[in-house]
Each structure stands twice: as C-alpha cells, then as structure tokens.
A and B are shown apart, each in its own frame.
Chain A
Amino acid sequence: DAGITQSPRHKVTETGTPVTLRCHQTENHRYMYWYRQDPGHGLRLIHYSYGVKDTDKGEVSDGYSVSRSKTEDFLLTLESATSSQTSVYFCAISGQGGVSYEQYFGPGTRLTVT
C-alpha cells in the first residue's frame, strides 16, 4: 500500500455541474498524477504536478483543471462535467527518495455523468 487515498470513490453527477476529486498521499512523493482509464484507451494522463503549485498538462487535459497547494493533496476539477468525462479516475505518485520512475496508484474514483 503506497499510502494513497482518493475521494470520493464513487460519484454520480449531472451534466454541467462542477466536480472535484481529491487525491491524498502520506508518502511525501514529489510527483502526483491524474489519469483516466477507459475501455480501449487504457490509462491516459490528464495533468501532473512536479511540486507544490507546479503543474503541467497531459494528453487529455481539456475540460480539467488541477491544483496542488500542499505536498500531500492534488485536486482534479471538472469545471462543467460532460458525459464524455464518465470514466474511472486514478491518482498516482512517484519521486520518493530520488527514485522518480516508479509510479504507485490509488484505488480510483468511478465517476458517472448523466
């Protein structure tokens, strides 16, 4: 267990509403990531963070924003949810003790946009 929690674990929301997903780590890893996983596409990077207040876009960042005000928390916000954002969202961490290439994943958040 890499000390990663995600909340909520399941959420159903309506089109057009804002949604925020939270990732919390207790391992003091430098890097944090948000992925979505969809059938036929695998894991795709949405955004990642390489430090507090330092973030960058991944390959599917449109419609998503992130924030990291503390080392341990990385928030993913869907400003106005759409049905195409129905997915399973995973947070990941890496970068403890200078070893950056090993990524550890959280349990996931299953989001349904109706």
Chain B
Amino acid sequence: QKEVEQDPGPLSVPEGAIVSLNCTYSNSAFQYFMWYRQYSRKGPELLMYTYSSGNKEDGRFTAQVDKSSKYISLFIRDSQPSDSATYLCAMSETSGTYKYIFGTGTRLKVLA
C-alpha cells in the first residue's frame, strides 16, 4: 500500500462546477500538506499548503485537512477550463529533513 493514495481520474466537470479532489494517507506523522497544479509538460506549481488540521481558503480554492481520518481535500469553486490540469497532493513529516511524499495526481478536465 502506498503512503499516499490519489484517484488518477480523469475527472470531467462542466464549467462553473465545484470540484472536489482528495488524497488519503497512512502515515499519522504527516504534518504539512500541499496541493500542486501541473499543466501538461510543465513543472508542478504550488497552489496551497496547510499545517496540521483545518481549512485554508485562497480565492476559488479551499484546502481541507482531516487528520483523524487521514484525508485531505482541495475544493475548486466556479471551475474554469483553465483549471484543467493534473492536481498533486504532497505531504511531509516534521522530521526536519523536509522530504515530501507525493500522490500520483488526479487529472481534471473542465468542459466549456
């Protein structure tokens, strides 16, 4: 079993929909949680990060962490065709080495 699990998709939604992207993990020591967006043939771009549990909002994006369930989510409101990309989750322990474990990514398609 992988430390971080992420549904590969593709997930297709109509423009304007609310998108929910999720990751589950098995290591209870993870404290830092990040979401990246990756366009085709580009490097990952940091979207959101959260520390420990709770919610964080930035514009149309909301990141949510539920440590009791070992589950994190990224919500995208009013989705746009420009949101079409692969979304990667990443997690790290507080070990000080700052090594990150990545999910395999969910491919999102927002249809105009």
| A74: min CB distance to chain B, Å | 14
Contact yes or no, A101 B99, CB < 8 A: no
Instruction: Judge whether A56 and B97 touch: CB under 8 Å.
Output: yes
Binds A, one of B59-67, B73-81, B101-109: B101-109
Q: Interface residues of A toward B: which range?
A: 20 to 34
| With A50-B97, A58-B99: A42-B46 Cβ-Cβ less than 8 Å | no
- A104–B100 contact, CB under 8 A? no
Cβ < 8 Å to B, chain A residues 32-56: 40-45, 48, 50, 56
Is A43 within 8 A of B102, CB to CB? yes
User: Which one of A12-20, A77-85, A105-113 is at the B interface?
Assistant: A105-113
Is A103 on the interface with B (CB-CB < 8 A)? yes
Per the 8 Å Cβ criterion, residues 59-90 of A in contact with B are 90
Q: How distant is the Cα of A56 from the Cα of B98 in the complex, in angstroms?
A: 12
Is B99 within 8 A of A104, CB to CB?
Answer: no
- Please name all residues of chain B whose beta carbon is closer than 8 Å to the beta carbon of A101 when the two chains form the complex: 32, 34, 49, 51, 92, 98
Interface centre among B36, B46, B49 (most CB of A within 10 A): B46
Residues of A within 8 A of B44 (CB): 43, 90, 105
Question: Which interface residue of A43, A56, A107 has the most chain B CB atoms within 10 A?
Answer: A43
- A14 and B36 alpha carbons, distance in the complex (Å): 33
- Interface residue? B21 (CB, 8 A): no
List residues of chain B with CB within 8 A of the CB of A104. 46
Measured CB to CB, the nearest residue on chain A to B98 is A100
Give the Cβ gap from A51 to chain B, nearest Cβ, in Å: 12
Q: Which of A50, A90, A102, A106 sits near B46, CB closer than 8 Å?
A: A102
Closest 4 CB pairs of A and B: A105-B43, A42-B104, A43-B102, A101-B32
Chain B positions within 8 Å of A, measured between CB atoms, are 6, 32, 34, 36, 41-46, 49, 51, 88, 90, 92, 97-100, 102-105
The contact sample of 17 A-B pairs, CB cut-off 8 A, is A42-B6, A42-B104, A42-B105, A48-B98, A50-B98, A56-B97, A90-B44, A100-B98, A101-B49, A101-B51, A101-B92, A102-B49, A103-B90, A105-B43, A105-B45, A108-B41, A108-B42
